Every structure is written in structure tokens, then in C-alpha cells.
Structure 1
């Protein structure tokens, strides 16, 4: 990653450039974000330290007073001045000045990098990011074999097809829109997030302007007053279709017609607009109720040569370029010949299951979310897939019932949430005894736990492929192939 300028960013009104930007040699470093909830206590000690490595969260590791401490934005091999504060048994650190920078360090192209926390690795070259993620997966997966080389992204910015902007008021009673600061509900006003689709951020900026001109107030979490909470935008990277979801605290939309007219005039490229109602005190972005203001209420996009319908609540991979690589590898691991029965657990809107159907005998998709199942069925019809069936329910119970009826499956494909799978689900996979399991994970740490269970119950890990689905962040995905080595049965 070369050093870049601000990519069209405008500094937020009333805000200066970030105060906690680590300095290079000779320049004093501004105040960094502390690495513990506790702070204060005795006067900080300024220590000159050397970074010995990185945590899985990308924080630098230093040794001080016999302790291993974490320092944000410090890279291996760097020497730096760090402020170390103690309060009781709690210790916090703050990067003050980089004395000897690493060759892996670059100037983050995003002016909000040190405030936002949404990206953690922009201060590292692309090569260093890939190396860090590779080492993380290699260390986690060591008990199961050596992972393949990371599948990286050639252009690792502007990749997200889904973004959401939160709106609020600043101290000057001006409307602001942006992202939350890390571990807080403090909104960082921003015009552009470099991993978002640029058009999505442009539309969010227009909405902020329309709110000001129409006197539409943002929602206040503390008082419960106001209307607009978030704006969720989904972009079909292939189709070019755009969905805008206005997440509001009330079903009553003041000045709705004027708002919609102004937005459509400014952005005729928007193909559908949805009013979603979330009037609950929750960290969830979307509420249960929604009304389509114009358009079909969905967009379409193409993945793996198939067209998928995406609704506001649909789960759809946010990085389609890397998803193609991920799914290609998953299909290779599934080793389908046209005769197999495939279970697509956690099937969502049916993406991986419908792609598998092109090479399988039949596909059975199971998903708890009824809206997603409805989308999956619609997507099967849209693509003329006749050998796939989708069911609403618990995939684990579904597989147990299959096994009890004497039915079998040759391949189970699973893509669980970050928390991984529970033992009840994994035991149901074991009872069904598929020949192969293809496990797609967005959290290799929980995947390791699940692989240990499967290896103890008759399966062997044959291949591990990490994929950088989220450049500039610490997150990494891994797809793993397991093969049955004996008659499986829980021990």
C-alpha cells in the first residue's frame, strides 16, 4: 500500500485532524487511545520500549516491569516512547512517539483512522497485513496442519457493498453523521469511509443535507426524541442497483414526500427506498417493521454466475470480490461430481447452496431466519435451480431427523456466525456422517474449537485456506475441508 492522500475527504466541521496519530521519528506523538478501561492513578511513566510482536487484535506487544503489555498502533521491531499508567492492578498504555519506525509502517490514508477504530491495520503495508493475518491463522491452525497462502485482494479499498451511517447532534446542535468510535456510542462525523462504496457515502452525505433543509431531527438515544437513527445502504456491485434503508424510531415520517422527492432528485441511481422502524433500546440496527417507499424493496447482484435478490434484512457477503475466491475454494473442497446430496447449513439467502447445486445431485438448505428462507426460495426460482430445497428451522435438529430416518448426506457445508457452532449442532453433523464437511468461518478462533470436536469424532482436517475478506481490519476468514476417517459417533 503506497502512501496516499486523503482521497477526497473533507474534515468534519469543528474537528481537526486526529489527535492520536502516532508520530514518526523526531515528531512528538499526540495522545493515543488507551488499551484498558481503567485509567488515571499514578502519574504515567514514559518508557522507551521495543515491540516484540502483535496480538490477534493487531496491537503491539511490549515488555515493561516484568509484564507483557499491549500498545495500539505499534509494529514489531519498532522502538517507541510509551506512557504506562497504573491504577490498582490495571495498567494502561499510550503510544507517545515512534523513535525507530518499521519498514512495514505507512501513513494511513484515512484521516479518521486513529479515531474510528473500524479499521485497525491501515498503518501497515498490504504485504504486512497479509503476513500478520497469515501468522495468526497459522498459529491457530497448527494442530490441524499448515494453512495455504492467504488469498488477498488486489485493490483493498471501497470493497464493502453494505454500509451504515449513524446520525446525531453535536454540541453545537448541528446534525452529524458517521460511525461510532470504538467501544462507545460517540459518533465520529465523517464524509467518507475508505472501505465503503463511495456512492454509498455520497448518498449518506446528501441525506444529512436534506435533514437540515427539512428540519428532520436525528434520534437522541438519551431522550428518545427525534426520528432518524441510521441509514443502511446496500449496493449491487455488479448490477449497480442501490437500496437505501432509513432506520427510524417512529413509523410516522414527517415530511416524507418532500424528503423522498429531494433524495430521488439528487440520486436517481437509487433503485429502492425503505423505511425501517426500530423503536427499541437495542444495539441492533434494523427493526422488525418496514415499509417500501419506492421501488421493489430489494436489489439484485451477481455472485458465482448466479443472480441473487437482496432485501434489507438479508445476509449477503459484504466483499463480493473476495467472496468469489472463497466460494470457488469451498466448491473445490466439496469435490462434487453431480451425484451428491449436500446440506447447506446456515444457508441464509442460499448463495453457497445454489452455487453448489450446479455440481451436486441435490441441495438441502436450512436456515432459522424465515425472511432469508423466503429469499433463498425466490433466488432458486430466479436462477432456474430445480435441485435445491430450502427449509426454515434448526439445521442441527433437521440433520438428526434425517439420520433417524436413515437418510444421509455426502457433504455438509456450514458457514456459522462469529460465535461458531455449538456442540448440539456439531453432534448432529457427526450423527449424519457426511463424507466431507466444508466449514467456512469468519472467526478462526471459534473454528479451531469446532474442528477439535470434529476431529475427536471421526473427521480429519485435510485443507485450510485463509481468505482476506476484510482488508484494513484484523478480521480474516478461513474455509476448511474435513474428511470422514471412521464411522463417526460422539464420544
Structure 2
């Protein structure tokens, strides 16, 4: 579909849904993000952007205060709206007066409404520089990080997509993503960072809903059927999972629906019905039924096959994950003799990749379903030198140290909140010669590395990886060695 056609469809959908915002203009590059559906209130000011926050907002000074202004780039001069509420000051762009060379017109027609991406107004090269600078600044106490690993084609990379359904004011079915900081659905035909096949399938489902009398679920009344559609795509295998998340398990005509959907998309490998009848922000519920196929899909990563369920955590961007894991294994310096602990192991991805070059791997994970998946993945790949345990990784390593057991390498890939002192102290007690810290949040990684460097470790190498192009998120892997 042409860019012009996309924009025309987007405007038509906004008009139908009642989501119609008047956007201020930039003379050179078109639309700039509005803040509210209602006209802006508050005063206007002229500012010059002097830098970035770590989440990609522009920094500007105003009346002695430092403002964080979304969609403003360093070096740009802009007229902005400034609103005050209590002690807080909000700022938004009204008009760009002088544009930076790195500013581009976003390819996505939903960009300024959605909020899922934050950097599409920057060139891809500028995005790489921004993320490099963020990691460089955070890691400055430990040395200079390597050059960031970027993507040649920074779109279509997400192997998992989630679409929410609802009704617009004209009682027409719409599907899309929530507008930022709201529960208002932005009608969308596609997302430029989703796998295109996933968006195509969701579009087919939306078109089938009326004829199958599948009403969207209404959060306020608790009535209706379809809440969300989750699609997972095996990038290497081509296998596709479709999960219908419903407010009730009563699905009349489900067999005919499955048959009709597979007629349009025979590439679908499995279809599931997940029931979430709770008033919650969680997408998936506890009840699940397989409507077609085996209920899981398989994908390949770093030469291994992994089984993926609806609730499995699996890296969103496999292409960049292979770069990230490859660098982590290189940093680990495995020779075939080492004992490796994979903390926060999930479904076993990085531990199983490491097992090909290690003596043995011990994976520890608190989620029992993930541990079960890890054991299955180990058997699927014929790996005999990896064992997986359910439990707290910190407690596990503390017990190892108390019993005199040793590990040569600890690989950790914690959530965005990072590790806690209890876990880090267990690493110090166990005294592995190398710690490989994989992080989806360099801020908490830097905090945790400070603890480790104060307790006997030194940082030898740091590598940022752009896992999520068009967003401000950046991953980083670091190698720490025990001081002799």
C-alpha cells in the first residue's frame, strides 16, 4: 500500500472513530504531535533544544526550569505549549521554527497518536547515535562501550503483535492499539514494526467479525466477546500462532470461524481461544483451549529450535537477538569445560545456546511454566549438558556457595528493574570468574555493575544492541571478570 493510501485510510478511520485531532505544523516536515483532543491551554514559549533525555525527549530551558519536550530534537528552535498543574510542568510542541538535519517525516501515519514508537521523527542513523550516547553516558564510569549493533532494515521485526478490539461511536468494529496514556483505541491497519503477515491476519479477523456475530468486548459493561488478538510468528520457520482473547468461553460457530480463517490464511499453524473474564490490564487469562493445531509454534534461534506457547517469553526481534547472544557467548569465552549458570533463564534460550560450547549449563527460573518449556526445548535439541530448576536464582547460587560448589560463568538477563542486592551478593559469594550481564535497561545495568565493581569485579567490555528500532529502548551486554 502506498504511503498516500495509508494516510488517507488513517484519516478516514480517525473520522469514523471520533479520534480527530488538529495537529500543529512544522513548515519543513509536516505534522508534529498534539497533546490533547481539545484545544491546547496554557502559555506558549519559544525554546531551543539542548539535548535528550534517556527516553528520547528533547531538553529545553524555560523560566529556570528544565523541560522535557516530546518530539523535539537537539539544536531545534520551537514554539511550545507550557501547562502547569500543581508542581508539575508539561510541555508539547506547537510549531518547529528551525528543524534539525536529523528530523524526518515519520513513515507511520499513526506515529504521533500511538506512542508505541518514540523516535520515528529521527533518521535511523540519528537513532543509532542517540542510543549510543545514552549507553556511553551511563557506562562512562566503567569505560567506553563498543559501537552499537543496528539493523539494516529497522522495520517489520516484531514477531509478536497484540491488537485490541472495540466499537467506535457509529457502532463500527475497530481494531488497533491504545493511544498513549489512554484506553482509547486508535484504528490501525498495520504497524510498521510488526511482522506484516500478522497485521494481515488481524485485518482478516476484523473483517470476519460481523458475519460471525463476534462483538468486541466492552470493558465498561463486561459484555461482548473478542477483547484482543495475539499473533506470534516464527521468523525462521514461518509457523504462525493466532490467539483469540475473549471475555467468555462461549464461542458460537467456532469451528466454522476457524475453517474460514484458515481458508484465507492456510499458513496459520495453530489457533487458540484464551479466556480473560477479569477486569484487568493483563492481556491473557488463565483459561485456554486449542481450536486448531498443537497449541504451540516452533522457531529457530542461533541454530536451535524453540517451542513457543501463548505465554512463553521469547525475544521480540530474533535477528538482533542472534547478534546479542552471539556477543554474550563470545564474552563468556567458553572452551567446553566451564560450568555456566543461566540466571533468569526463561524458556532456556541463552543457556541452551551456551550449552553448545560449555561443559554444563544450570538454568534457574522462578516461573514454573517457563522451566517446563526450557526442559522441553533442551530435549527437542538433544542437549544433555543442561539442567533447569525452578526457584530464586540468588538463593540457588547462595546454596551452591555454601556447599562449596563452583561456577565459572554466570549469565544474567533480568527484567527492566534489574537485579536486587540479594541476587548480586549471591554472585559475589559464588565468585564466578566471569559475569555476563545482558540487560534491556542500561540504567539498572549500570546500577548493578556499580555494586559488582565494588565487590571484586572489573568491567572488560560493553556492547549496546539496538533490539527495538524506532523506540528509545536499547539493550546492552557487559563482561565483568573477577579481579585476581
Q: Same fold (TM over 0.5)?
A: yes
Alpha-carbon distance in 2 for matches of 1:451, 1:20: 46
Question: Equivalent residue for 2:47?
Answer: 49
Q: Is the 8 A contact 1:18 1:115 kept in 2?
A: no
- For each residue in 1:380-430, what CA deviation from the matched residue of structure 2 results, as whole angstroms up to 9, or x when unmatched? 111111111111111111111111111110000010111111111111111
- For each residue in 1:258-298, what CA deviation from the matched residue of structure 2 results, as whole angstroms up to 9, or x when unmatched? 22121111111100001111122222111122111110111
Q: Is the 8 A contact 1:20 1:115 kept in 2?
A: no
Note if 1:221 corresponds to 2:203.
Answer: no
Question: Equivalent residue for 2:469?
Answer: 471
For the residue of structure 1 that corresponds to 2:211, the secondary structure is helix
How many angstroms does 1:88 deviate by?
Answer: 4.0
Alpha-carbon distance in 2 for matches of 1:6, 1:341: 56
For the residue of structure 1 that corresponds to 2:289, the secondary structure is strand
Alpha-carbon distance in 2 for matches of 1:104, 1:331: 35
Alpha-carbon distance in 2 for matches of 1:8, 1:172: 22
Cα 1:270–1:26, aligned 2, differ >3 Å: closer, same or farther?
Answer: closer
Aligned length: 477
Cα 1:29–1:86, aligned 2, differ >3 Å: closer, same or farther?
Answer: farther
Question: Equivalent residue for 2:417?
Answer: 419
Question: Equivalent residue for 1:298?
Answer: 296
Q: Is the 8 A contact 2:270 2:295 kept in 1?
A: yes
Q: Give TM-score, length-normalised by structure 2.
A: 0.95
Q: Is the 8 A contact 2:364 2:390 kept in 1?
A: yes
For the residue of structure 1 that corresponds to 2:326, the secondary structure is helix
Extract unaligned runs of 5+ from structure 2: none
Question: Equivalent residue for 2:10?
Answer: 11
Map of 1:203-352 to 2, 5 A cutoff?
A: 203-352=201-350
Q: Is the 8 A contact 2:33 2:113 kept in 1?
A: no
Cα 1:199–1:31, aligned 2, differ >3 Å: closer, same or farther?
Answer: closer
How many angstroms does 1:24 deviate by?
Answer: 2.7
Alpha-carbon distance in 1 for matches of 2:372, 2:462: 32
Question: Equivalent residue for 2:145?
Answer: 147
Map of 1:18-29 to 2, 5 A cutoff?
A: 19=21, 23-25=25-27
For the residue of structure 1 that corresponds to 2:268, the secondary structure is coil
Cα 1:25–1:227, aligned 2, differ >3 Å: closer, same or farther?
Answer: same
Q: Is the 8 A contact 1:19 1:30 kept in 2?
A: no
Q: Give TM-score, length-normalised by structure 1.
A: 0.93
Cα 1:26–1:321, aligned 2, differ >3 Å: closer, same or farther?
Answer: closer
Alpha-carbon distance in 1 for matches of 2:266, 2:228: 21
Q: Is the 8 A contact 1:21 1:114 kept in 2?
A: no
Question: Equivalent residue for 2:34?
Answer: 32
How many angstroms does 1:86 deviate by?
Answer: 2.7
How many angstroms does 1:325 deviate by?
Answer: 0.4
Q: Is the 8 A contact 1:441 1:477 kept in 2?
A: yes
For the residue of structure 1 that corresponds to 2:140, the secondary structure is helix
Q: 2:355 aligns with which of 354, 357, 360?
A: 357
Q: 1:457 aligns with which of 439, 455, 473?
A: 455
Question: Equivalent residue for 1:120?
Answer: 118
Q: CA RMSD in A?
A: 1.9
How many angstroms does 1:379 deviate by?
Answer: 1.1
- For each residue in 1:448-490, what CA deviation from the matched residue of structure 2 results, as whole angstroms up to 9, or x when unmatched? 111111111111111110000000000000001111115xxxx
Alpha-carbon distance in 2 for matches of 1:460, 1:110: 43
Map of 1:379-418 to 2, 5 A cutoff?
A: 379-418=377-416
Q: Is the 8 A contact 1:247 1:278 kept in 2?
A: yes
Alpha-carbon distance in 2 for matches of 1:473, 1:27: 20
Question: Equivalent residue for 1:168?
Answer: 166
How many angstroms does 1:196 deviate by?
Answer: 0.1
For the residue of structure 2 that corresponds to 1:131, the secondary structure is helix
Map of 1:372-383 to 2, 5 A cutoff?
A: 372-383=370-381
For the residue of structure 1 that corresponds to 2:235, the secondary structure is coil
How many angstroms does 1:135 deviate by?
Answer: 0.6
For the residue of structure 1 that corresponds to 2:26, the secondary structure is coil
Cα 1:27–1:323, aligned 2, differ >3 Å: closer, same or farther?
Answer: closer
Q: Is the 8 A contact 2:128 2:150 kept in 1?
A: yes
How many angstroms does 1:26 deviate by?
Answer: 7.2
For the residue of structure 2 that corresponds to 1:203, the secondary structure is helix
Q: Is the 8 A contact 2:416 2:439 kept in 1?
A: yes
Cα 1:416–1:28, aligned 2, differ >3 Å: closer, same or farther?
Answer: closer
Alpha-carbon distance in 1 for matches of 2:55, 2:197: 30
How many angstroms does 1:85 deviate by?
Answer: 2.4
For the residue of structure 2 that corresponds to 1:213, the secondary structure is coil
- For each residue in 1:230-254, what CA deviation from the matched residue of structure 2 results, as whole angstroms up to 9, or x when unmatched? 1110000010000001111222222
